[in-house]
Amino acid sequence: MGTLERSARRERRLGAFQQAMLMAVVLGGVVLVAATIPNAAQLLRFFPGFKKGARFNYKAKSVLGRLAEKGCIEFVEERGKRYARITEKGEQMLKFETEKVAMAKKRRWDRRWRIVIFDIPERRKSVRSKLRRYMQEYGFVRLQDSVWVYPHDCEDLIALVKASFRIGADVLYLIVERLEHDTHLREHFALPVE
């Protein structure tokens, strides 16, 4: 279970789920930026709730940090930019995560949709095409060209795919409680229709 999944579960228990989801998406983006861009942590002071002198452990809170600790990815610097690169252990874990999420399909649905949104530049068109093929082969349903939906937890899988394709900042992973007009999705995934 990924960081966003745990965070969402905790916030649901405490209430105010919608606000928590917005903050998780905002903070998730900031953590990713902070992990990849030097001095980006200084940007946090402009976010509500930031306390001067507060310490943030990005390594423990970000998916990339967790994967780096496990040795699944490594950070490399090329031409002044920092990238996450998947390791051999990460490739093995990617296969394992694929199987694990496939097994999760057999479990009861938690009534939350996982949405993957990406905006990959035209100059990386081949990577964009590979990602679309991967999403389709994996079983995601395309809502729009760059918006894909899946009913089960796949956060770690998406993080590994981001590292493997080197598209970290171009892809967002969302957990959504309600999705308008989702009957066709429920039927596609053989989920209970309300």
Q: Nearest CA to 65 among 97, 94, 36?
A: 36
Confidence of residue 10 (pLDDT cuts 50, 70, 90): low
Domain spans in the chain, listed from the N-terminal domain onward: 3-188
- At 146-167, the pLDDT tens digits run 999 999 888 888 988 898 888 9
- At 33-75, the pLDDT tens digits run 444 444 444 444 444 444 444 443 443 346 777 778 888 888 8
Mean pLDDT along residues 89-94: 81
Confidence of residue 96 (pLDDT cuts 50, 70, 90): confident
Q: Is 182 annotated as a binding residue?
A: no
- Name which residue leads in pLDDT, 123 or 103: 123
Please give the model's pTM, rounded to 2 decimal places: 0.54
What pLDDT does 175 receive?
96
